Structures are given as C-alpha cells and as structure tokens.
Structure 1
C-alpha cells in the first residue's frame, strides 16, 4: 500500500471516528474517541510529510546525494531496566525519513549514531567508554515519532550508576574525602540536637537535666555521662 492509499485509509478512519463521537453519550467513551482522533491526525500529518519528501526526491534525484552539513547530537536522556540501557534522542521528524537513513553502530564499550538528511542536515552522536560492556549483536534502535530510541543490551544485569566511565570518575572525584580528624563526639552532639529540636517538652527537660549533670561531673573531674 503506497503512501497515498495509507493517507486515504487514515482519513476514512478519522471520518468514522468523528461520526462515532457525534453519537457517543458517555463521557469516557467520548474521551477515548477524542484521544484516538488525535493519534490518527498525528499519523496523517507524518504520512503527508513523508509523501512530500518522496515527491521532492522524485523531482530532484540528486538531492539525496548533495552534501549536507553535520551537527552533533548533544542532548539526550537515558534510563535502564535489568536487561537494557535505553538512550532517548529527540529528533523532530525522524519518523518521516527512510529507515535506512538512520544508522547505529554498536561496539562492546561504545555506540555511534548517524541520521542522514533530516531537515537538510546530518545528525551525529558517539558515546565512548560505556560504564560496562554491552552485547553489540543484541543491541538495537527503534524509530518513534520525533524520537530515536537506542537500546544497549547489558552483558550482565547489574544496575548502572551512570552512562560512561568518565562520568563515574568525575563523580568519584567530586565525593568529599573522609575527615579522619573529625571529633567522634560530633555525631553524638548532632543527634542530641536533632532529638532536642524535634522532641516534646518532657524530652527537652530530660536532655537538659542529663546535660547539666554531665557538666557537673566534668567540673568534678569525673568521666562524661553515659547516655
């Protein structure tokens, strides 16, 4: 089925959804139909853009081979499951270009992305020194509406604290070094202050009494109170 036929079918679906919406009386049914209308309208827009691009390529067969300048993809989001590390790239219109224009190369510790001829530009991204090894053969890409999803399959199902080794080194460097000369009683004092601050009147009286007795013992040269 060519794009023209696909668009015609989607427009027919949209028209039928409109008829059903006009007859629907239940609010929930109306909301479901409206939501489906939005999805179909979005799909029609994407198919029309794809058709326009095809028409331009037919009109100018050399357009696809003309040099396009390359921009680096710098913004991305990521999350993970037990099996995959997922990288999300927002690329407006990526779903409208031929799938073969979207290339991703996976290696054990890296991956690179090259999206050709999207809005007159090539888009490139390379991530090196992944935190842990991935299975390049089982990793993949998924093209979604205005977004490219990169799925790196983990070799082991441990949780990643960050995406790359460089990020981990930077985090480790920023961690404060342990203060070996700190007074061991500081922790106890902090705890007592918090208990005092959060406690009721009875608790505050108890702490004040214990503190006063402790100070008296110190003045007499006795050991500090045993709380």
Structure 2
C-alpha cells in the first residue's frame, strides 16, 4: 500500500474514532489506526535510508541491506525519564553516526545502520505523555541501546508507555467490570488477561492449568471452567 493511501486511512480512522461510541468499536479502530501509523513510519524510514545511501554514493553491496524492524524492548521510568532498553548484539561497535534517533513530543524512532551487514529500526508512536526533545538522549552499551526520554512533566507516572496501550488496558478493564456479576465469566477473563499480559512462564502455567481442566472435563470430573483461553 502506498504512503498516500495509508495517510488517507489514518485520516478516515481518526474521524471514525471521534464518532465512535461503543468501547469495542473504539478499540478496533484504535488498533487499526496504530497499525497504519506504524506502516507509515516504516515506509518513511525506508525512503530516508534509500535517500541517504543515494546521497552517499553507496555501492551495490550496501544497497542490498534491508531494514529489520525491532519489536522487543524493555522499559522503565524514573521521576525524570522514561527509559527504553533495546538488545542488539555488537551494537557497541557501531559508530555514533550509525545509531540515530529521531524524536517528536509523542514518538521516537531508532535507526541502526550497518550492524553486521543489517539495518535495524524501532518506532514507538503515541507516547502516553509528551517528552522534552532537547533533553532526550541515548547511550550505547554492550549489546544494548539505552534511550532516555525526558518527561516534559517531571514526576508524572506513566502506567503504560503509549496512549494506544492505555486505551486497550481501559477496554480490558471495562470488559472485566461488565462480567463482574458473573463469577465464572470474570474468572475466565482474568485468566485471559493474565495469559495475554504474562511472560512465557506465566503462559506455560496457565496453559497447563487449562489443559488439566479439559482432561478433567473429559473424564467426568470438575473442569474448573477456564473456558476457551
């Protein structure tokens, strides 16, 4: 899909979000908008990389490098900063000019050039709160890029990293509240939320409990009713 078409999609999704009333519809539209915005950023990044290579007169071998989109990172916060940690083996050997970050008040975009013959990118849009662009920075550590996003409002707590995650969390909490009068439905939704949000060990434990409950149901015992996780 072209950049113009994606931008048109985002504009229309924004209008639909303003008109939407139901929480489920808002959640679907929010996810679709976030996906379209991510594709826009990726296309713009690829275009910029191609332009940089052309301007630098890179040879055919360099032109074969592709952009690998990063999705895994950790984050933490202090009173002054939101900190992102991206693991990349050998990144400490890159030159300072090959690890570039572009900031806006509500987004950040990392681009690592020619790390072991590959380019890497990470984009985080719709930050939960504004950041101070001038005071944000990054550090190269052993096998890691550490990004420090300066909070525009020092001391403000970020319970999630992005506004999209905030909306999805609110929707999940709302769905749980609706099932509050039905203990079985509430338990199933809580287990689903724990599974979706949990680490690999938590998911293994929940999957094991669900499997055992199904085996009990087939044998005529009490299944424990975990539902369809």
TM-score when scaled to structure 1? 0.50
Task: Tell me whether 1:153 sits opposite 2:154 in the alignment.
Answer: no
- 3-state SS of 2:114 partner: strand
Structure 1 segments (4+ residues) deviating >3 Å = 61-67, 178-182
> Residues 15-68 of structure 1: CA distance to partner in whole angstroms, max 9, x if unpaired?
xxxxxxxxxxxxxxxxxxxxxxxxxxxxxxxxxxxxxxxxxxxxxx95884441
Task: Tell me whether 1:119 sits opposite 2:116 in the alignment.
Answer: yes
Counterparts of 1:104 and 1:64 in 2: how far apart (Å)?
A: 25
Q: In the TM superposition, what is the alpha-carbon distance from 1:177 to its structure 2 partner?
A: 2.3
RMSD across aligned positions (CA): 2.1
Matches within 5 A, 1:1-227: 62=59, 65-156=62-153, 157-175=155-173, 176-177=176-177
Counterparts in 2 of 1:70 and 1:102: CA distance versus 1, 3 Å = same
Counterparts in 2 of 1:80 and 1:137: CA distance versus 1, 3 Å = same
Q: Is the 8 A contact 1:139 1:151 kept in 2?
A: yes
Q: In the TM superposition, what is the alpha-carbon distance from 1:104 to its structure 2 partner?
A: 0.3
Counterparts in 2 of 1:160 and 1:64: CA distance versus 1, 3 Å = farther
Aligned length: 122
Counterparts of 2:138 and 2:178 in 1: how far apart (Å)?
A: 43
Highest CA radius of gyration, 1 or 2?
Answer: 1
Counterparts of 2:142 and 2:81 in 1: how far apart (Å)?
A: 21
Structure 2 gaps, min length 5: 1-57, 183-229
Counterparts of 1:138 and 1:146 in 2: how far apart (Å)?
A: 24
- 3-state SS of 1:177 partner: helix
Counterparts in 2 of 1:180 and 1:68: CA distance versus 1, 3 Å = closer
Counterparts in 2 of 1:154 and 1:64: CA distance versus 1, 3 Å = farther
